[in-house]
Structure 1
Amino acid sequence: MRNCHDTRNYIDMNKQLLLCLLHVLVLSGCQHKTPDTSRISQQINAYEPDWSSLRKHQSPEWLDGMKFGMYFHWGPATVIGADQSMTRLEAIEQWKAEEFSAEAWVDLIQASGAQFGGPVAWHGCGLLNWDSDITEWNSTEKGPKKDIYGSLATELRKRNMPVISSFHTGRFYDRMWGKISKSNTTYLSPTEDHSTYATRNGGRMSNVIFDAWYARITEAITKYQPDMIWFDTGFGGTVGPELRKQLYKGRLLQDSLVRIGGLSEEYQQRLISFYFNKGIEWNKEVEVFYKSHDIPPGIGMRDIENGNLVGLQYDPWIADIDMSHHYDWSPTWFYNPKNPIKDANMLVDMLVDMTSKNGRMLLNVPPLADGSFHEDVTKELYAMGDWLELNGEAIYGTIPWTFYGEGPTEVTLPGHHGQGKNRGQNIPRYTSKDIRFTQKGKILYAILLEWPGQQAHIKTLGTEGKLHPNTIRNVRLLGSEAPISWEHTPGALVVNLPAQKPCDFAQVIRIERN
């Protein structure tokens, strides 16, 4: 899907030429593409590394319609999942990725109905999943000897799909960093413990590590020009205190010392301003996803890790959801045969619920160590794709309605990890009375999370409710050619459904309004 450029602000040609000239002068002769008129004011006011400047950033308009993306936890930890006696260094040697094919992966992304995708570019150790000029500890020189990030980004762009890349660097002093850079004499042996770097800066993390982190991330951004990047908990470190009940919605609750790890604000601001300014250089809108309160609100989009939220949210958000249940934690997110795969019915219900609440889902799909996918994974993804082919108009490009839904079932453990704890027992199991709403233009979609049988009674849509009398023009069931009758009563919109349901789960009633 191509990015949509904001064309709301038109200016006359003379003013455009003047602003372009000022742009060139301000940036001291830097080479840029001729900007489109809607981005000129932003280009002149390039982002500075401070929160006030970064808050001027706006989420891309094209992202508003993106509701379903896919990424892949894949690396040495996948090998360890099959043989937990291995060390990480041994796992790198055994990770050959014989069956990896960027074309096949993007085929799967499209078959599942996802709108965007990309790799986990860096996770949990010093090995980078791209062709790095900074360190030999990368996937082109170690392990698979393949540019995973680069090949996926290239293939996604061939198909006009936005690219997301994620960076999971929670333990900056971990093993296997190799040289901090190829030109730097500082060397971190992969066989030694580097935890001393955690206290070399007045008791906090050494800037040597932060500088190496910054160099790697900016290299990945420059090489592959991602449309979206997101940072795991190591970026700002607020998830831990939040889960320990020390922080609640940005407020300190306890008097005890609150230990917040991750990067200093200086490096956060430098990195985000670098990325946003690169977006200006590339003449495209970009976005950052972040966890909890890692950065001030309004700068990027908040991500909920393997969780969901209660109620309709005022700001757009995203949840990264693991396709696997978390039965065994060594490892999670990477393929682990001990962790069963969530079925398509559950995943579609999650996607529908999040979309109705102003959210979107980034689904983690865990490949096998060789780069292929277990049949349990592909079976459920193809089923999701079949559902979206039939019902995708109720998801893609929609916005929330004034009510996100009706019915008795709601998320009981909201927030980070809420969908992963207790072997998934906290994931809602919806009933025939649970309905979620989305809308697009004059069309309102009522998504029935379980088949109600002969009739659907949608109480929110009664003439005494939100939809006044004579505001409904037509009602039909997506995927069904059978004629249906309906009645708009004071207490509900009553829809008489056909005997045959059009798909196995989550039926969509399409309501055309005046």
Structure 2
Amino acid sequence: MLDTIKLGDLSNSISSFDNVPTIIQFLNMKKVKLTLVLALMFTIGYGQQSNKIEDNKSQMFEESWQSLEKVNASPNWFQDAKFGIYAHWGPVSSAFEGSDPDTFYAGWHGMKMYEDGKKVPTKSGKPTSNFVHHSKKYGNPKKYGYKYIIEQFDPSAFDAKQWAELFVKSGAKFAGPVAMHHDNFAMWDSKSTRWNSKNYGGIDPSAELKKEIEATGLKFMASFHHAFTWQYYAPAHKHGGVAPEDYDLYTNPHELNSETPDDQFYADWWAKLKEYIDVYQPDLIWFDWWLENMNEETRLKFLAYYYNKGLEWNKEVVVSYKESTFPETVAIKDYERGRPNQPKSPTWLTDTSPGAWFYRPNAKFKTPNELVDILVDIVSKNGLMLLNVPPNPDGSIPQEMQDLLINMGEWLAINGDAIYATRPWTIFGEGPTRLPEGGHKVEKFKIEYKSTDIRFTKKSDKEFYIIVLDTPTNEIIVKSLSTEIGVLNSKIKNITLLGSNEKINWVKDDRGLVIKTPSKLPSNYAHAFKVVLEGYKENNIGGNIDAHVD
């Protein structure tokens, strides 16, 4: 009967709603009335749900550095990924169509197009090449301002599925759009600003890319550059011609040297970012510079909101930043076209481009060999590469850029085990070719790695990789593994070349680890050798060794 049943036994049996048949069988055996059972199940279920809610509340982040330092800023998925892609594309992509391929044009066209050397001063006292080109192509910026470029946006060849398929072929593990660049134009169907790709272009590239990218298993990211918008459009106001009804694009009028955004700018900046987070739920948000000039309250509000959203979505999200925007304990530090010249912890990121950031006619791109070497160097130092893809104005991706990405992907298909899910080894590398300094924009130094330049990564304490950055001749000598140097204190069990079944002949002596170059190499760029170790061992204390002790 009911009075013989211990409610504690029943509640233990009904630990969840996942095992309904077992629960029903238990109740039939005990002849428990259905109404009481339902009430009890509801009570128990409600209690469990309440506990979950309370647990989530206890994990939630507050708007303080102390609270935010508890976040796992570099989750395993991010550390394992190593390679991602984003795309600088928008109305400004068409601005350089018809430009002189032999003339230098600054990348920030929406800013430089107003610098006439008179109303808006320049260092030379002459108009910028951007102003000259814009005036010739469209007309005087006072009448044909950046707004006019937006109105010409024609993304007629954009195909999110083709983009995503190409990103997969490249070997990237996360990808997404430049959601908003300095020009304050939203590359999504925004309700927070009328200056968006749906109103001007008829598409929502963020929604389409999220769908196609996530369908391939890649993580979805988005970048935001609109903190700098405050200074970016200051020359537009100085040059003149900005109508008050368009201040929602150009920001409110302010002086060229103003570094203090007004309240409206802060409100608009946050509204766009919050909307994107809520609607598109990106796994990674990447910030360009100048956010460090915005107030601390704004930065804390964003971090707490986004990380709490990650808890709500039940996924670990990532934030990257430049300069001094955030402490390294709460987000991922990014180096623009650069990297440290030594290993660095915590994990960091490089954003780079094979050529100009946005479309340029007759663009010159880095070679796949150069990009592979840069990637390997980055990974050996505990970093990741975020590579820019600059599409054509219509949204198609240039064939040369497609070929470059496919070549990188072919290399990664062979050598990916030495890259993905690896961590830094005891040392990052050896060889004569080094960056003279670390930091932003160090890629300006032309680096050509040789076969004597070697980088290391590891999968575990018993597996590491030797990556030779150019094609070797007769033999490879890894000097760091010499018997005279105590870097490797474990016996080598086996060495293989990724992508090859050929037996590797090697010897370890006072010269180093000497590997005879295989007769056939599986890739055209860097070559990765997998080294399997016995593993480090120690003897336990005991037995005869301490028998003499009284």
TM-score by length of 2: 0.75
Give runs of aligned pairs for residues 183-202 of structure 1, distance below 5 A.
187-189=245-247, 194-196=252-254
| Distance in 2 (alpha carbons) for counterparts of 1:204 and 1:275 | 25
Of 397-406 and 43-52, deviating more is 43-52
Measured after TM superposition, the shift of residue 56 of structure 1 is 1.1
Equivalence for 1:476: 496
CA distance in 1, matches of 2:364, 2:198: 31
Q: Structure 1: which 5+ runs fail to align?
A: 1-12, 27-39, 177-185, 237-261, 325-331
Q: CA contact under 8 A between 2:180 and 2:224: conserved in structure 1?
A: yes
Residues 1:151 and 1:193: Cα distance change in structure 2 (over 3 Å): closer
Residue matched to 1:277: 308
Code of the residue aligned with 2:354 in structure 1: it is M
Q: 1:232-287: per-residue Cα shift (whole Å, max 9, x none)? A: 00211xxxxxxxxxxxxxxxxxxxxxxxxx31111111111110010011111111
Does the CA-based 8 Å contact 2:454-2:468 persist in structure 1? Answer: yes
Report the AA paired with residue 466 of structure 2: A
Aligned to 1:427: 446
1:361 corresponds to which residue?
385
Q: Can you list the C-alpha shifts for 1:395-436, whole angstroms capped at 9, x where unaligned?
A: 0111110100011111124311221x4xxxx03211121000
Aligned with residue 348 of structure 1, among 372, 385, 401 = 372
| Deviation per residue, 1:357-397 (Å, 9 max, x gap) | 00010000100011112121111111101100111110011
Q: Percent identity?
A: 36
In the alignment, which of 327, 330, 345 is matched to residue 296 of structure 1? 327
Contact 2:184–2:249 (8 Å) recurs in 1: no
Report the more deviating stretch, 480-489 or 438-447: 480-489
Partner residue, 1:157: 214
Partner of 2:291: 235
**Structural mapping, 1:275-424, within 5 Å:** 275-324=306-355, 332-337=356-361, 339-419=363-443, 421=444
SS in structure 2 of the partner of residue 512 of structure 1: strand
Query: What corresponds to 1:490 in structure 2?
Result: 510
CA contact (8 A) 2:429 2:454 kept: yes
CA shift for structure 1 position 98? 1.1
What is the Cα-based RMSD across aligned positions, in Å? 2.5
Candidates 16, 21, 25, aligned match of 2:50: 21
Q: Please give the alpha-carbon distance, in whole angstroms, between the structure 2 residues aligned to 1:60 and 1:341.
A: 32
Deviates more, 1:307-316 or 1:395-404: 307-316
Correspondence list, 1:109-188, <5 A:
109-142=167-200, 144-169=201-226, 170-172=228-230, 187-188=245-246
Cα deviation, residue 197, structure 1: 8.0
Q: Do structure 1's residue 80 and structure 2's residue 104 form an aligned pair?
A: no
Task: After superposing the two structures, state which structure 1 stretch, 359-368 or 203-212, moved more.
Answer: 203-212
Q: Which amino acid aligns with 1:480?
A: S
Q: Tell me which protein shows more helix as a share of its residues.
A: 2
Structure-2 separation of matches of 1:210 and 1:199: 18
Counterpart of 1:103 (choices 145, 153, 161) is: 161
Decide which of 51, 58, 67 is 2:82's aligned counterpart.
Answer: 67
Confirm or deny: 8 A CA contact 2:188 2:204 kept in the other structure: yes
Which range is displaced more, 272-281 or 59-68?
59-68
Question: For the Cα contact (< 8 Å) 1:390–1:479, is it kept in 2?
Answer: yes
Give the partner amino acid of 1:409: T
- 1:510 positional shift: 1.1
* Cα offset, 1:478, TM superposition: 1.5
> Contact (CA 8 Å) 1:488, 1:494: kept in 2 or not?
yes
Structure 1's 488 and 127: CA in aligned 2 closer, same or farther, altered over 3 A? same
TM-superposed deviation, 1:193: 7.4
Tell whether the 8 Å contact from 2:464 to 2:530 is kept in structure 1 after alignment: yes
**Which amino acid is 1:132 matched to?**
S
1:191-210 Cα distance to aligned partner (Å, 9 max, x none):
9773428899xx82101111
The aligned amino acid for 2:68 is: L
Aligned partners of 2:251 and 2:334: how far apart in 1? Answer: 32
Partner residue, 2:476: 456
Aligned partner letter, 1:80:
A
d(CA) in 1 for partners of 2:195, 2:489: 66
Match of 2:60, SS state, is coil
Q: Match of 2:152?
A: 94
CA distance in 1 between counterparts of 2:453 and 2:490 reads 25
Question: Compared with structure 1, are the counterparts of its residues 385 and 52 closer, same or farther at alpha carbon in structure 2 (3 Å cutoff)?
Answer: same
Give per-residue Cα distances to partners, 1:12-64, cap 9 Å, x unaligned.
x89x997852553x5xxxxxxxxxxxxx4x65231111111111111212211
Residues 175 and 140 (structure 1), Cα distance of their counterparts in 2 relative to 1, 3 Å cut: farther
C-alpha change, 1:483 and 1:131, in structure 2 (3 Å) is: same
Q: Any stretches of 5+ residues in structure 2 without a counterpart?
A: 1-14, 17-44, 99-132, 139-144, 235-243, 535-550
Write the distance in 1 (CA, Å) between the matches of 2:251 and 2:415.
52
- Per the TM alignment, residue 175 of structure 1 is displaced from its structure 2 partner at its CA by 5.1
Partner of 2:526: 506
Assess if the C-alpha contact under 8 Å between 1:174 and 1:195 holds in 2.
no
Query: Cα 1:159–1:197, aligned 2, differ >3 Å: closer, same or farther?
Result: farther
CA distance in 1, matches of 2:446, 2:277: 35
Q: Distance in 2 between matches of 1:427 and 1:414?
A: 14
Q: 1:466 to 1:437 in 2, by over 3 A?
A: farther
How many residue pairs match? The answer is 438
1:337 CA drift (Å): 2.3
* Residues 412 and 428 in structure 1, CA contact (< 8 A), matched pair in contact too: no
Per-residue CA deviations over 1:52-88 (Å, capped at 9, x if unaligned) read 1111111212211010000000012211122442442
1:154 Cα deviation (Å)? 1.2
Deviations 1:105-136 (A, max 9, x none): 00110111111100000001221001111221
Where do residues 23-42 of structure 1 align in structure 2 (5 Å cutoff)? Answer: 24=53, 40=55
In structure 1, the residue matched to 2:241 is: none
Q: Distance in 2 between matches of 1:192 and 1:292?
A: 25
- Which structure: larger Rg? 2
Deviation string 1:414-468 (CA, Å, 9 cap, x unpaired) is 311221x4xxxx0321112100000102221000001221111111122333455
